[in-house]
Amino acid sequence: MGDLGWKKIPVMSPWGRRAYLTPLAAIYLFLDPQTMVNEVSYGVKLLKDTQSLAEAEEIYQGKLGLIPETKLKRSINFMGS
């Protein structure tokens, strides 16, 4: 019993984002954030005490091996130049 299927989810964008809600997706409502940090999202521990964006980017890329969104191009020209 629930409102399942494609739903508009409010996010920072004025258009929102579409998400497909299923009974399995409800499991996220029951996950303890502290357990997730301890067991899965170990990057949170590394980033929580950073004092600047530069420091966070260095940890994100150097220790986690991921590219920070701030290093990506702001737009992509799909039509070519």
| Domain residue ranges in the chain | 5-69
Task: Say how far apart CA 77 and CA 72 lie, in whole Å.
Answer: 13
Confidence of residue 1 (pLDDT cuts 50, 70, 90): low
pLDDT per position as a tens digit, 4-45: 888 887 777 777 788 888 888 777 777 888 888 888 888 888
